[in-house]
Amino acid sequence: MKVVMVLYPGGPAAKENPELLGCAENALGLRKFIESQGHELVSITDTGAELERHLPTTHVLVATPFWPAYMTRERIQMSPELRLLLTAGVGSDHFDLAAAAERRITVAEITGSNVVSVAEHVVMQVLALVRNYMPSYEDVVHGGWNIGPLAARSHDLEDKTVGIVGMGRIGQRVAARLKPFDVRMFYYDNRRLSAAEEQVLGARFLPLDTLVPECDVISINAPLTPATERLFNLERLRRMKKGAYLVNTARGRIVDTQALVDVLKDGHLAGYAGDVWYPQPATPDHPWRTMPHHAMTPHVSGTTLEAQRRYANGVKECLAAFFDGRPIEREYLIAEGGKIVSPSYSYAYT
C-alpha cells in the first residue's frame, strides 16, 4: 500500500523538538511502523502539484485540518486506488465527503483527539476579547500606558450571556470551562442534550434564531457541512446583539468572510476570534488579518503537542486496522460503505 501524508512544514522546530509529530518531517512518528509492515510512506507539505502527482497511485491519504489537502471531487477522481482518507485531527470537511462516499472510500478522523485543546483555546479567546487583551498587550509592547481607551472596551465575563452553537465534544467542554465564570449559558444543536446533561453543564437549549440576539458571546463549535456553510451570514451577524463577540474555532466557511469584516468595521460586533480561515493557509491579504477588533491565530488550537500525540496514536490505530483488514473504530468513521455515517455530518447529507 502507498500511504501519502500531507502535513504542515515543521521547519527547524521539527528537529529541535521531536514531539512535533504533526509536521511532514516527523510524519506523525509513524515512518518506522508503516515501512516495517512493508508499506510505502510519502510525507509531503505540498498541497498542489506534488500531491496531485501522487494521487494516481495513493491507497491511503492522511491530512490535517491545520494545513488542508483539499480533496475535491476532481482530485478523488484522479485517485483510482484510493481506499482510505484519514484526518489526523477532527473535522473532515477538507475532503469532499459526498464524492468519497460515492466511491465507497472510507473517511475517518481521530474523534476526540484535540477537543480539550480547542476548548481551552476558545476560553482563552473569549477572555482575550471580553477583557480587551490584544490592544492592552500591544500598548505595553509599544511603550504606552493608555488606561483610558483600553479600559473603555474592557468588561467582566461574569453575568454575561454565552451561546454555544454545536454542543458536541468541544461545545460541552467549552460550557464546562465557562460555567465557573458565572455566566448565563444557552446552546443550540440539532441534537438536544438530556435534561441531566443540560443541568450539569448549566446550559439551556434555545432555537438558533432565539439564541443569537440573546448572547453577549457566541462560540461556534459545529462541523462545516452544507447546513452550516455561511450559517453566520450578514443577516444572522446583524441579528447578534450590538457589541457582542463571536468566537469560531469550528471552520472559517461557517462565517461569511466579507459580512464579518463589515459588522466589525461598523461596530455592530465588538470583536471576533478563532483560528479557522478559508482557504488555509490564509493568503497574506486575507481581509480577516487586518479587520478591526480581532484576536485570531493561525489554525493552531487543535495541534498542541499533547493533541499531536493523541491524533498520531489514533492514526496509527486506524492504519493498523486497515492494513490488517480489521474494521476501524466506529466512533472515528465519517463515511463508510457508500454512506456518511457520522451522526454529526449525516443529517446534512441526506
The residues binding ligand NAI (CB under 6 A) are 89-91, 114-115, 118, 165-171, 188-191, 221-225, 227-228, 249-251, 275-276, 299, 301-302, 344
Out of 236, 294, 299, 310, the active site residue is 299
Q: What is the closest distance, in whole angstroms, from the C-beta atom of residue 323 to ligand NAI in the complex?
A: 26
Out of 75, 169, 251, 310, the active site residue is 251
Cα–Cα nearest to 193, from 204, 182, 185: 204
Closer residue to ligand NAI in complex, CB, 132/228: 228
Is 248 tagged catalytic?
no
First to last CA, the chain: 32
Indicate the residue whose CB is closest to ligand NAI. 168
Using DSSP, state whether 53 is helix, strand or coil.
helix
Q: What is the closest distance, in whole angstroms, from the C-beta atom of residue 206 to ligand NAI in the complex?
A: 12
DSSP per residue over 72-85, as a string? -HHHHHT-TT--EE
Is 251 tagged catalytic?
yes
Helices (H), the chain: 12-16, 31-36, 49-54, 73-77, 97-102, 115-130, 133-141, 147-151, 169-178, 195-201, 208-214, 234-239, 257-265, 287-290, 305-324, 343-346
Q: What is the closest distance, in whole angstroms, from the C-beta atom of residue 125 to ligand NAI in the complex?
A: 11
Residue position matching grid coordinates 476501524 = 328
Instruction: In whole angstroms, give the CA distance from residue 162 to residue 77.
Output: 44
Q: What is the closest distance, in whole angstroms, from the C-beta atom of residue 349 to ligand NAI in the complex?
A: 11
Out of 26, 132, 172, 280, the active site residue is 280
Using DSSP, state whether 162 is helix, strand or coil.
strand
Closer residue to ligand NAI in complex, CB, 76/110: 110
Q: Are 295 and 275 in contact, with CB atoms under 8 Å apart?
A: no
Closer residue to ligand NAI in complex, CB, 41/174: 174
Closer residue to ligand NAI in complex, CB, 251/293: 251
Is 114 tagged catalytic?
yes
Out of 26, 75, 94, 114, the active site residue is 114
Is 258 tagged catalytic?
no
Angle at 234 between CA 232 and CA 236, to 5 degrees: 50
Residue position matching grid coordinates 486506488 = 81
Q: What is the closest distance, in whole angstroms, from the C-beta atom of residue 226 to ligand NAI in the complex?
A: 9
Neighbours of 200 (CB within 10 A): 14
Closer residue to ligand NAI in complex, CB, 34/85: 85
Enumerate the active-site residues.
114, 251, 280, 299
